[in-house]
Amino acid sequence: MSHDGIRNPRRAERGTRNPRIRSIGLALGAVVVWWAAAASLRGQTPRTVWDGVYSKAQAARGQEAYKLACGYCHKDDLSGGFLDDGVGRATALAGPRAFGSSFADRWRDQSLGDMVYVIASTMPKEAPTSLSLATYVDIVAFLLERNDVPPGEMELAADVTALRGVAMTAGRHSTPAVR
Ligand code: HEC
C-alpha cells in the first residue's frame, strides 16, 4: 500500500512541498523508522528455538494434552504409531526418524508460527483445529522438549506474531568452528 511512497524518491520530494502530502510523508517516515527499529531489533536479538523459548511447566502441560489428543496415533513416547506407513511418512514426532528424516530438517528455516499453523490446521488428523491455540502451543513446547531443545524461563506465548519471530534452526551451534 505505502511501499511505493517509500521507494519512489520523486513522490517523497513532492511531499516536502505540498503540506497535505507532507503529512503523508511524515506518516510514511514514521513507518520507515518503525520498520528500521523492528529490523535492527531483529538483527540484535535473533530468536531461535535455542534461546529458551518455552518453559518446563508448559511442556508438561503440552504432554498431558498430547496424551489425550495425539498419543493414540503418534504413541505417547512420540515414536510413531499404528498409522505409520513404514516409509517414514508418518508419524514419529521426536528422534532421528521424526517426520521421516529429522525434526530439524522438517522445520528448518521455518518459524514456530509455521509449525503451530501446520499442526493446528492438520491435527488431530480426524479433527483439525479442534484444540485451542494455547493448547497447540503447549504441545509444540512438548515436541521441542522431546527433540532436545532446552527450556527457558518464559512460556511460549500463544501469539501468532510472536511465534513467527522464533526461527527453527538445526542447532544452537550453527558455525562450523563449533562443530
Ligand atoms: C488419528 C491419528 C492421528 C492423530 C490423533 C494425530 N495425528 Fe498427527 N499425523 C497422523 C498421520 C497419519 C500423519 C502423517 C501425515 C498425514 O497423513 O497427514 C501425521 C502427521 C503429523 C505431523 C507431521 C506433519 C508434517 O507436515 O510434517 C505432525 C507434526 C503431527 N502429526 C502432529 C500431531 C499432533 C500434535 C497431534 C495431536 C494434536 C496429532 N498429530 C494427532 C495421524 C494422527
Q: How far is the CA of 124 from the centre of ligand 1 (A)?
A: 6
Give domain status of residue 172, yes or no. no
My answer on whether 56 and 84 are in the same domain is yes
Tens digit of pLDDT for each residue in 3-22? 544 555 455 454 456 667 66
* CB 119 near ligand 1, within 6 Å: yes
Domain count, the chain: 2
My answer on whether 33 and 19 are in the same domain is yes
Contact 168, 104 (CB under 8 A): yes
* CB 74 near ligand 1, within 6 Å: yes
Give domain status of residue 146, yes or no. yes
Rg for the chain, CA atoms, rounded: 21
My answer on whether 25 and 108 are in the same domain is no
Alpha-carbon distance 46 to 157, whole Å?
17
Tens digit of pLDDT for each residue in 21-63? 667 666 666 666 665 555 555 544 558 999 999 999 999 999 9
Q: What is the 3-state secondary structure (H, E, C) of the chain?
A: CCHHHHHCHHHHHHHHHCHHHHHHHHHHHHHHHHHHHHHHHHHHCCCEHHHCCCEHHHHHHHHHHHHHHCHHHHCCCCCCCCCCCCCCCCCCCCCCCHHHCCHHHHHCCCEHHHHHHHHHHHCCCCCCCCCCHHHHHHHHHHHHHHCCCCCECCCCCCCHHHHHCCECCCCCCCCCCCC
* Residue of 122, 132, 138, 143 best suited for mutating to test ligand 1, as the one with most atoms within 8 Å of CB: 122
Higher per-residue confidence, 93 vs 14: 93
My answer on whether 55 and 142 are in the same domain is yes
* CB 125 near ligand 1, within 6 Å: yes
- For residue 145 the three cell numbers come to 522438549
Peptide bond into 151 cis (omega under 30): no
My answer on whether 69 and 26 are in the same domain is no
Q: Which domain holds residue 36?
A: 3-44
Tens digit of pLDDT for each residue in 133-179? 999 999 999 999 999 999 999 999 999 999 999 999 887 654 333 32
Give domain status of residue 122, yes or no. yes
**How many Cα neighbours within 13 Å face the side chain of 31?**
13
Give the residue from 41, 43, 31, 37 showing the smallest Cα distance to 7: 31
